[in-house]
Amino acid sequence: MKKRLITIAVALITGAALLFPQSPVRKLPQATESRIDSIIRMMTLEEKLGQLNQIGGTWYDTKTERLNEEQTAMLKAGQIGSFLGITGAAETGRIQRMVMEESRMKIPVLFGADIIHGYSTITPIPLAEASSWNPALVERSARMAAMEGSAVGIHWTYAPMVDIARDPRWGRIAEGSGEDPHLGSVMGAARVKGFQGDDLLQFGSLLACAKHFAAYGGAEAGRDYNTVDMSERTLREIFLPPYKAAIDAGAWTLMSAFNEIGGVPASGSAWLMTDLLRKEWGFTGLVVSDYTAVMELMNHRIAKDSTEAGIIGLSSGVDIDMVSRIYLRKLSDAVRTGALPESVVDEAVRRVLRVKFVYGLFDDPYRNAKPEKEKELLLAPAHRDIARTMAQQSIVLLKNEKELLPITKNARTIALVGPLAGNDHRRDLVGTWAWVQKPEQVVSVIDGITAKLPKGTKLLYDKGCEIESDSGYRAEQAVAAAKKADVIIAVLGEAQRHSGEAASRSNLDLPGRQRDLLKALKATGKPVILVVMNGRPLTLQWEAENIPAIIEAWHLGVETGNALADVLFGDYNPSGKLPVTFPRNLGQIPLYYNHKSTGRPLVPKDKYTSRYLDVPNTPLYPFGHGLSYTTFHYGAVKVSSAAVKIGEPVTVTAEVTNSGKRAGEEVVQLYLRDDVASVTRPVKELKGFKKIMLQPGETTTVSFTVTPDDLSFYGLDMKRTVEPGSFTVYVGGNSVDCQQAVFNVVK
Ligand code: GLC
């Protein structure tokens, strides 16, 4: 057996940045800061408030001139500092020219847009990209999105969304990286680096915007915009690290969240936006509110009118008011009456101007207004290649009984069934936040499979049913086709509208009559491969018990059909791992791997322990789960020392062998448990991972360097601390099946 020693030191340095409060405080050269001060001194109060005012355009319509008369007049009067959703190199150039030639201060405007997973070349939804556990690839995907966003005149993307989500009822789980702070931090940092590149002044770089600060994913009952109420400990240990990682990766902007946290709306929270973000973390960039979030402080009933909402929002540290125009319209009086110190306005303007300088707009206001770049870059073949690779690696093989997959040449007739298989639902394949995608640009499942069909193999297709309506149910015809086939591929799942913003679901089964269709297909006795396309974990208990092969394909973007066919026919060996837990049923939610022990941890034979009467505590598929067309064997976990002093690192190694018959990639995961501490600690926490490729029979030693930061937590005094005592370390291919070892931390 070949032995290849690879020492893969996963210096969990992200841990350091995450766990200690100091961000790289990024000040601009003094000359620039002085220039900013001099600009502010020349501005009127209305012009200052104009810089804090962002208005929305008609979404991504690049054909016509987009500003109405009122907006044009506001622009020329210096009352607009940035735009949301206006794209098109020619149009953004035209608007900028008006600013530079007709406004008094000639301060360039910023063009922001939601480029979440691609602009024209839509890649898999972020939750799918996170399933690749490949931050370098995710960075490339973000880079490509930034190139396309720059080509259409955008300066600023409202991404990455880094909200931790533990409740799959919440539709926006689709936009993030799942339930884990470490994975979410690594992916958030990768996307920031992808969007901003090595040099923000270069064409192709976009300002990143970590959102939604903070803890938007903690909405009670998974209902969007709902109340968030959690301890500061949970906030700091679980929900805050990805925002901090994004800032440490260089993000110059954040977006404030809609939700309250424990009684204080995020977009009006001075503790969050100033004490924590600016004073503790040293963030020097700007905060933009979410859409009308400033106005919504009245809905939260902490502001009696819009003036008070504006004062609370700006004073808390939310610099730009997205769309509600309260800052512009109400705060000049507030300043004049003394209700709001002008110094507060000046500080917000300083942050906005700082970001505009950082992005080079004062030197080149027209930097991204290059129409020729649109033709060159949008949906470029090289971009499609990235989208296809990203989609391949986003696919998670959940089940593969008797190696039904990959489909071999023995399958002379294949039946392709399901509402997401044909050409009529291509828009659904790109998932949420894919505004400009034209359906004909998406490679459908049937097209992808047809292109890859082995010679002589016949493909039968029937839609079988609609995604959610009962009408159009045609199981009979689908079954008729299925009976003629050697294998059935059922492509089922959610529509684009079922996830993303304002798309919470109280039932996580396959929508409509899709399960009925699946049962009819199973009844034929033919082997069924289920491909699920969705924006969140679904409750697939029946499917898991009755279908021999299940692929989690999420919403994969423009290259869906090709990437799926690559996996189905074995040209790509699936390597994805779940970034989020799949529950058995709704009643288990919230269900996540890094849970606490409780005082009565489950003892199978003891009724009086933490459990349900009607369902196990375990998930259907755990965090980190994902199969391959090969198998991997994990040897014993070894630690560099049985006892390490506080402040010292410890090296953890494990041998991993490809014990199967074909090459494959494995995501080796490292988890830690602080066995006894002064506060309750999770039963397991992801602290590192490494994706490795192994040839059949090959063995590699994977090595992780666990740093003191990884051993630390917020103690009783809410300060970071490392306590002496034993730690259990786990290494495995998911969060459940691990080899483990113990080491002690000593004074
Ligand atoms: C939306 C979303 C936010 C987005 C913003 C601008 O309501 O909450 O994620 O960036 O508005 O479109």
Cα distances (angstroms) measured from residue 97 to each of 53, 173, 327: 19, 39, 25
Which pLDDT band, with edges at 50, 70 and 90, does 5 fall under? very low
Test site for ligand 1: of 158, 162, 254, 321, most ligand atoms within 8 A of the Cβ: 158
Q: Name the catalytic one among 163, 167, 180, 290.
A: 290
User: How many other C-beta atoms lie within 10 A of the C-beta of residue 719?
Assistant: 8
Residue 404, domain member (yes or no): yes
Domain contains 702: no
Per-residue pLDDT tens for 158-173? 999 999 999 999 999 9
Residue nearest to atom 12 of ligand 1 (CA): 114
Q: Comparing C-alpha atoms, which of 691, 667, 687, 673 is closest to residue 19?
A: 687
pLDDT for 63:
62
In a domain, 654, yes or no: no
Q: Which atom of ligand 1 is nearest to the CA of 211?
A: 9
pLDDT band at 59 (very low <50, low <70, confident <90, very high): low
Between CA 536 and CA 538 the distance in angstroms is 6
Distance from Cα 426 to the centre of ligand 1, integer Å: 24
Q: What is the mean pLDDT of residues 644-657?
A: 97
pLDDT confidence bin for 624, thresholds 50/70/90 = very high
Q: Is 211 in the pocket of ligand 1 (CB under 6 A)?
A: yes
Report d(CA 521, CA 151) in Å as an integer: 46
Could you tell me if the CB of 156 is within 6 A of ligand 1? no
- Token pair recorded at residue 422: 């044909």
Q: Of all atoms in ligand 1, which is nearest to the CA of residue 159?
A: 10
Residue 338 has pLDDT above 60, yes or no: yes
Is pLDDT at 518 greater than 50 in this prediction? Answer: yes
158 lines ligand 1 (CB under 6 A): yes
290 Cα to the center of ligand 1, angstroms: 6
Q: How many beta carbons lie within 10 A of that of residue 410, not counting itself?
A: 9
Query: Does any domain span residue 500?
Result: yes
pLDDT band at residue 61 under the 50/70/90 scheme:
low
* Structural domain total, the chain: 1
If you count them, how many residues does the chain have?
A: 747
CA of 84 to the centre of ligand 1 (A): 9
Q: What is the pLDDT averaged over residues 572-594?
A: 98
- Distance of alpha carbon 290 from alpha carbon 273, whole angstroms: 14
Output the CA 291–ligand 1 centroid distance in Å.
6
211-233 average pLDDT score: 98
pLDDT band at 416 (very low <50, low <70, confident <90, very high): very high
pLDDT digits (tens, 9 = 90+) for 114-147: 999 999 999 999 999 999 999 999 999 999 999 9
Residues 580 and 499 sit within 8 Å (Cβ to Cβ): no
Location of structure tokens 């929305």? 56
Minimum mean pLDDT among 57-71, 224-238, 404-418, 430-444: which range? 57-71
Ligand 1 contacts CB of residue 473 (under 6 A):
no
pLDDT at 8: 38
Cβ of 501 less than 6 Å from ligand 1: yes
**Catalytic status, residue 486:** no
CB atoms near residue 202 (< 10 Å): 13
290 lines ligand 1 (CB under 6 A): yes
Residue whose tokens read 């799959």: 168
Which of these ranges, 372-386, 435-449, 494-508, 535-549, has the smallest mean pLDDT?
435-449
Specify if 617 maps to a domain.
Answer: no
Q: Is the pLDDT of residue 11 over 50?
A: no
Indicate whether residue 114 lines ligand 1 (CB < 6 A): yes
The C-alpha atoms of residue 146 and residue 152 are separated, in whole angstroms, by 10
711 closest CA partner among 737, 731, 687: 687
Domain region containing 577: 380-588
Q: Classify residue 467: in a domain, yes or no.
A: yes
pLDDT, tens digit, for every residue of 302-336? 999 999 999 999 999 999 999 999 999 999 999 99
What residue's CA is closest to ligand 1, atom 8?
290
Does any domain span residue 152?
Answer: no
DSSP 651-675: EEEEEEEE-SSS-EEEEEEEEEEES
Tell me the average pLDDT of the chain: 95
Q: How far apart are CA 117 and CA 131, in angstroms?
A: 14
682, 673 in Cβ contact below 8 A? yes
Coil/strand/helix, residue 685 = strand
CATH label of the domain that carries residue 555: 3.40.50.1700
Q: Confirm whether 552 is domain-assigned.
A: yes
Q: Which of 626, 515, 617 is closest to 576 using CA atoms?
A: 626
